[in-house]
Amino acid sequence: PADLHDATAAKEVLSRLRLMHPEITIVCADSAYADKLVDWTRQHLNLTIKPVSRPKDASGFVVLPRRWVVERSLTWMMHARRHARDYERLIPHSETLITWAAITLMTRRLTRKGATPSWPRESASADT
């Protein structure tokens, strides 16, 4: 819901994350979540939250550790025209389209030039 603060919703999201992916033990989060959420996740979910914050002496644009990975990934997903606007009425439809865009992105990365081994293949005529 729109009237729910991100830190409150984060508890639900992190609880689901823990159930679906018990192998995840560390979560990087914005420094806005550095208050009670860090203690709550450690107590209830056995997760470690590492808040990512700007250096105190920094001015202007600063690349924050690990945050660029999320920003880059979201930017890649926005290249799919369907994600430029939220046309979906049901959350499962939106989740499916996000998964589809991620699969398309990864298959393109795997099949691009240079992604395959460079050793020479034997021609079919050499076998006959």
Within-domain flag for 41 = yes
Whether the per-residue pLDDT at 127 is higher than 60: the answer is no
Within-domain flag for 16 = yes
**pLDDT for 42:** 92
Mean pLDDT of 67-79: 77
Within-domain flag for 119 = no
Q: What does pTM read for this prediction? A: 0.57
On whether both 9 and 49 belong to a single domain, the answer is yes
On whether both 1 and 47 belong to a single domain, the answer is yes
Within-domain flag for 122 = no
Within-domain flag for 104 = yes
pLDDT in tens, 31-56: 877 778 889 999 999 999 888 888 88
Tell me how far CA of residue 98 lies from CA of 40, 71, 79, 88, 108, in angstroms.
30, 15, 11, 11, 15
Whether the per-residue pLDDT at 79 is higher than 60: the answer is yes
* Full residue range of the structural domain in which residue 104 is found: 63-110
Within-domain flag for 37 = yes
Quote the percentage of the chain above a pLDDT of 90.
Answer: 16
- Cβ contact 34:53 at 8 Å: yes
pLDDT in tens, 4-36: 777 778 888 999 999 999 999 998 888 877 778
On whether both 36 and 8 belong to a single domain, the answer is yes
**pLDDT for 118:** 60
Tell me how far CA of residue 102 lies from CA of 55, 97, 110, in angstroms.
32, 9, 12
- Cβ contact 80:101 at 8 Å: yes
On whether both 39 and 70 belong to a single domain, the answer is no
On whether both 83 and 49 belong to a single domain, the answer is no
On whether both 83 and 105 belong to a single domain, the answer is yes
Whether the per-residue pLDDT at 126 is higher than 80: the answer is no
Q: Tell me phi and psi for residue 52, to 5 degrees.
A: -105, 120
Nearest to 30 by CA among 48, 49, 47: 49
On whether both 16 and 35 belong to a single domain, the answer is yes
On whether both 6 and 41 belong to a single domain, the answer is yes
Both tokens assigned to 52: 């990512």
**pLDDT for 105:** 85
Q: Which spans in the chain are helix H?
A: 6-20, 36-44, 67-78, 91-111
